[in-house]
């Protein structure tokens, strides 16, 4: 990671902060963003984040789409539509906008890795504590990740999907699962992610 440029969204706390701290400890040049710095639901702000990174460091080696929100399981007919729209704006469109910004820059560079933090719910559906809305957003991200990875073959730009299970984050402040204490720490998840990303770096 030494001297690599890493941009991380949703990095004010939780997994994003743990990733930022670890990347920086390993010598990376890290640009962090949370909603106060760049609202991922606004494409112009995401583009400005990329512009800032390029102006400061010249290239972006890793763009990590980490920003996300969660909502507890509810029957579909009782779900607040406004909350559904807000969740998709962050989870899906926030990643969509981040990918677009990263692809434009990384194609110019002919290298770079886009990392989408998704969830095991993109595989196991309703298992666990997440309901249909959160799960749907993660299924959508899995499809987007896989499809765009194929689109970008032979460009030098790679797309990585990360599918962590439950980990201890205040994402669950609204309703912590009963087995929250058994979840992974954000530090252990961050270490696993960064260790694998280092495999993406040519020697």
| Catalytic (active-site) positions | 134, 138
Q: Residue for token digits 């102006």?
A: 55
CA angle 63/90/124 to nearest 5° reads 85
Angle between helices 132-151 and 81-88 (to 10 degrees): 20
């Amino acid at each position: 990671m030494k001297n690599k440029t890493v941009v991380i969204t949703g990095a004010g706390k939780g997994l994003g902060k743990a990733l930022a701290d670890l990347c920086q400890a390993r010598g990376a040049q890290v640009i962090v963003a949370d909603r106060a710095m760049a609202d991922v639901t606004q494409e112009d702000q995401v583009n400005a984040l990329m512009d800032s990174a390029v102006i400061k460091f010249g290239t972006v080696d890793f763009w990590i789409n980490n920003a996300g929100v969660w909502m507890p399981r509810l029957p579909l007919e009782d779900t607040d539509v406004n909350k559904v729209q807000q969740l998709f704006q962050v989870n899906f469109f926030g990643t969509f906008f981040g990918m677009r910004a990263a692809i434009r820059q990384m194609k110019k560079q002919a290298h770079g890795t886009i990392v989408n933090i998704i969830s095991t719910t993109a595989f196991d559906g309703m298992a666990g504590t997440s309901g249909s809305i959160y799960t749907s957003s993660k299924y959508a991200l899995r499809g987007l990740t896989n499809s765009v990875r194929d689109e970008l073959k032979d460009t030098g730009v790679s797309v990585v999907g990360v599918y962590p299970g439950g980990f201890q984050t205040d994402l669950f402040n609204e309703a912590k699962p009963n087995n929250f204490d058994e979840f992974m720490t954000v530090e252990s998840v961050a270490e696993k992610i960064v260790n694998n990303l280092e495999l993406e770096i040519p020697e």
